[in-house]
Chain A
Amino acid sequence: MPPSLYSLLLLIVLLTTSGCTREQEAALEAGGQIAPEIKEYKASMDGAPSTIDPVQSSNVYANAVVLNAYDTLYRFKYLARPYEVAENLAAGMPEISEDGLLYRIRIKQGVHFIDDPVFEGGVGREVVAEDFVFSIKRHFDTTQRPRGAWLWQGRIVGLDAWKDAGSNYDEEVEGLRALDRYTVEIRLIEPYPQLIYTLAQGYAAVVPREAVETYGREFGSRPVGSGPFRVISYDSARIVYEKNTKFRQEPVDIWAEGYDPETQAHIGVEAIQGRSPPFIDRLEIHFISENAARWNSFTKGNEIQYLTVPNEQFDNILASKDPIIAKPEISEKYHMRYSVESGFVFINFNMDFPEFGYNDDPERARRNKALRCAVIKGFDWARRNESFYFGLGRVFPGIITPAVPEFDPELSDESVRLDIDGAKKLLADNGWDEDTIPEMVYGTTAGVSQRMFYEQFRGFMKKIGYPPGKVVLKQYATFGDFIKDTSNSRLPIVSKGWSLDYPDAENTLQLFYGPNGSPGSNDANYKNPEYDRLYEQSAVMLPSPERTEIYRRMNQMVIDDCVAISGLSRTRIYLWHKNVIAMPDREIVSGFYLRFVDIAAGDD
């Protein structure tokens, strides 16, 4: 071989192997030798986090990733369904005062951060209450580019003022203090029943001040936490963790975690009883948004071991849809689990647009409402469910999703039932015809599925007499651009999906709360004073039948005013290899379940 070719080959080999030096170095540092039999779990997610700094972990993926490297005060129980809160870094449930304004939370002692050069001698120090205080304060410091401030804005005494005064970390905030090394005290302006849920979010993860100050913005790719795993590599394709050997030893009691042998016995989770998580030595989470690639990687056998099944595979893996039973060849090789998502998809009318929404002329306002109601009647949810979700989605009326306790299964489904004649009649009775009907601009992010949703929507509209030329698509190349226009109230029809941050209907009801209008998350810009009043009233109530009653009244208002075409909760099907002992979940528990995963010995 000519010498030049030889050196080129050498160069290539060098270049490729240089790509994984960091990992190998880490492995070597860890113990000098890679253990002969390490337990490894390769999970997958259908999207990628943009960063792993807790202060910016705004999407489902970032949340799941952050929760494994860091600690939060609370988490959700592994096996309990419906979801229940459990303690994580906190030593017990919070002590709450009578008036609901004062919370005292004790944290566990002897919890340490991982070893990192930012600490003295490179050894991770103990986690203290002040660390939690610091972590929340970061959300009120703009230099950190925080995204989670909305959870605690206007709720904690003195915190907003602290921000206005310049976010000086050496200054105390009256409502957020460390009473001593292990006690946190939070003082609220008003009762906030969902506070404890917010403390189980990635946003509330505990970070060490030294790391944030030393690494600055790089902290977003160099995590230093106290969670069950430590990150050894992170790029746009996957994140790799190894077991955090300094993680606190806490034997798991599956009964306390909500184990239900009737529905969960087949998973084999009894094998982890009494042992202390995490059970795997190495965790990889692959970010694969392309369905085809994800499915191929899963079925191959030696790549990822878990996935949320892409919709188009449902027919291939299910023998029946009601009840959901897998085909024999699937149930032989994999475990399967399914659940309705905790979230939903729906379509908002933006009431700021006088052609459809609020209008100073009462006559026009009335006609607008008829128009909206006609569109809602013309929307064929059953067909949408069939086309895109294999009929497995759960169509329900209103905005309280099936996943929350306040859901009312008895509520009439009239608002989601197809009624073409009714729609046509509404249009005719209110003076709407092909010429007078306004143009609808349907806004959505870029993507093949979104485009198909739009085309189907246009097809539906054609049947009730809405001319296809007047149903126009506006696709945004990036999610950011889409949000920008909805935040500036520039889109009349907004197609949305929402994932619950916590299992309380307040999370979806706030989507229609007046003051949350654009640029907030109420991009329907629904402004109903009666609704707002009820919202404020219920916001400070603890879960109770009275509160549920109020929630349902609010739900009915949204339905009656024809503000949104809502909604559908997708059914997710999870598959994982037989040698993996786990109860995976994509929502709410999505990050937390990973520490309880175990691999059966002697796998295939």
Chain B
Amino acid sequence: MDVVKYAIRKLVGGIPLILGVTFVSFLLMVYFGPDLTFEMLGKNPTPEQIAEVRKELGYDRPFLVRYSQYLKELATLDFGLSDSTGEPVSSMLIRSIPISLALVTPGFILGNLLGVLLALVAAYHRSGWIDKAIMGFSVVGMSISFLIVIIAFQILLSSSYGLNLFPVRGWNVHSLYDYVMYVTVPTLASVFVALGYNTRFYRAVIVEEMTRDHVRTARAFGIRPGKLLYKHILKNSAIPIITRIMFSIPLVIVSGSLLIESYFGIPGVGKVTFDAITTGDQPVLKAVVGLTAVLFVITLLVTDILYRAVDPRVSLK
């Protein structure tokens, strides 16, 4: 019961946040966003035609009216139809979100898993050559631009100039084999880029744990490395690790996949959103931005609850 009350309180506390995010995003992307009028008109438009189209698109209504309309849509999850293709926004999202998830999940999991593993190895051999090598590699990974990695990987692995093993672009997935084919190169690229950051962060956290007195004591008592690792180090490092993972989820899904989706031609949510920004497709933008805000608040909430599960010292008050 405590958990539920806590959750409700947190959720209510998150409402100003949602309002804030929606307001800022609405202001930027919708109100000041690209004017779709001239895309909609054909050649040789007359001033009357221009006025008509603006009315159709709703540009002539006052700001507050449009904003409250938006909030209503968010609450009912009814975002209407896309301004450019006429497809219902909800079906666009339903179509593209699973694709984005399928695209980023392996990379996300792998990147964090490998990151933790490498960090453990590095931390265990602190100041040894293994540690230095891993850290060196991490810095290199952090210093190469994502863009360069994507272009290079596409050439090396997918094109006929390189190994020609994987499809160049697209997402034609009907079986597990197809899935592996299409997701490999993007996954490799994102893991390559994320690994550097992840490893360093986790190593820092783990090292901090390792130097704590109770760990030193346990070691002095001759406890086995495996048990040391799990019982003493990992469990306590769990909080910052989990926090980091949780906080990167909403970001990874929407913006992390943006570059990959455009370059590899994958029709996921990132690409849909970016297209919507550049073409000024307001219904789509409103939907994505609103949902991201809600997702973020929910993530905060879940993280808080997880804290409690992992660290009983944290109270629910």
Direct contact of A and B (CB under 8 A): yes
User: B44–A520 contact, CB under 8 A?
Assistant: yes
B159: which A residues are within 8 A, CB to CB?
296, 299-300
Stretch at the interface among B7-15, B125-133, B234-242, B272-280: B272-280
B272: which A residues are within 8 A, CB to CB?
236
B248: which A residues are within 8 A, CB to CB?
none
Partner among B37, B172, B265, B275 whose Cβ is within 8 Å of the Cβ of A480: B37
What 0/1 pattern do residues 166 to 203 of B give for CB contact below 8 A with A? 01111111111001000000000000000000000000
User: A20–B85 contact, CB under 8 A?
Assistant: no
A15 to B95, CA, bound (A): 10
User: A142–B34 contact, CB under 8 A?
Assistant: no
Kindly state whether residue A477 has any CB partner on chain B within 8 Å: yes
User: B34–A477 contact, CB under 8 A?
Assistant: yes
User: B278–A478 contact, CB under 8 A?
Assistant: yes
User: B102–A15 contact, CB under 8 A?
Assistant: yes
A217: which B residues are within 8 A, CB to CB?
81, 86
A484: which B residues are within 8 A, CB to CB?
35, 37-38
What 0/1 pattern do residues 75 to 93 of B give for CB contact below 8 A with A? 0000001001111100000
A238: which B residues are within 8 A, CB to CB?
170
Give min CB distance, B166 to chain A, whole Å.
Answer: 9
Kindly state whether residue A131 has any CB partner on chain B within 8 Å: no
A51: which B residues are within 8 A, CB to CB?
84-86
User: B36–A15 contact, CB under 8 A?
Assistant: no
Kindly state whether residue A297 has any CB partner on chain B within 8 Å: yes
Kindly state whether residue B266 has any CB partner on chain A within 8 Å: yes
A191: which B residues are within 8 A, CB to CB?
none
Partner among B34, B43, B264 whose Cβ is within 8 Å of the Cβ of A521: B43
Kindly state whether residue A12 has any CB partner on chain B within 8 Å: yes
Partner among B40, B44, B45 whose Cβ is within 8 Å of the Cβ of A56: B40
User: A17–B173 contact, CB under 8 A?
Assistant: yes
A519 to B174, CA, bound (A): 48
Q: In residues 89-115 of chain B, which contact A (Cβ within 8 Å)?
A: 95, 98-99, 101-102, 105-106
User: B263–A300 contact, CB under 8 A?
Assistant: no
Given known contacts A149-B49, A480-B36, A484-B38, A296 and B265 CB-to-CB distance under 8 angstroms: no
B98: which A residues are within 8 A, CB to CB?
15-16, 18-19
Give A293's nearest chain B residue, CB to CB.
B169
User: A16–B56 contact, CB under 8 A?
Assistant: no
- For the A-B complex, the count of residue pairs with Cβ-Cβ distances under 8 Å equals 161
B155: which A residues are within 8 A, CB to CB?
296
User: B174–A24 contact, CB under 8 A?
Assistant: yes
Q: In residues 227-274 of chain B, which contact A (Cβ within 8 Å)?
A: 262-267, 271-272
A288: which B residues are within 8 A, CB to CB?
169, 265
Partner among B47, B87, B105 whose Cβ is within 8 Å of the Cβ of A221: B87
What 0/1 pattern do residues 480 to 507 of A give for CB contact below 8 A with B? 1101100100000000000000000000
A296 to B160, CA, bound (A): 7
A50 to B284, CA, bound (A): 14
User: B278–A477 contact, CB under 8 A?
Assistant: yes
Kindly state whether residue A13 has any CB partner on chain B within 8 Å: yes
A169: which B residues are within 8 A, CB to CB?
none
A16: which B residues are within 8 A, CB to CB?
98-99, 102, 173, 179
Q: In residues 202-246 of chain B, which contact A (Cβ within 8 Å)?
A: none
Kindly state whether residue A290 has any CB partner on chain B within 8 Å: yes
User: A150–B167 contact, CB under 8 A?
Assistant: no
A350: which B residues are within 8 A, CB to CB?
none
Given known contacts A218-B86, A286-B170, A520-B43, A481 and B265 CB-to-CB distance under 8 angstroms: no
Given known contacts A51-B86, A299-B159, A483-B38, A478 and B279 CB-to-CB distance under 8 angstroms: yes
A262 to B292, CA, bound (A): 61
Which residues of A does B touch, CB under 8 Å?
Answer: 12-13, 15-20, 24, 50-53, 56, 58, 142-143, 145-150, 153, 216-221, 235-238, 286, 288, 290, 292-293, 296-297, 299-301, 303, 477-481, 483-484, 487, 516, 519-521
Pairs A–B under 8 Å by Cβ, sample size 6:
A17-B174, A216-B81, A237-B170, A237-B266, A237-B267, A301-B160
Q: Which 10 A/B pairs are nearest by Cβ-Cβ distance?
A: A220-B86, A147-B42, A483-B38, A520-B44, A480-B39, A217-B86, A296-B168, A15-B98, A221-B87, A296-B159
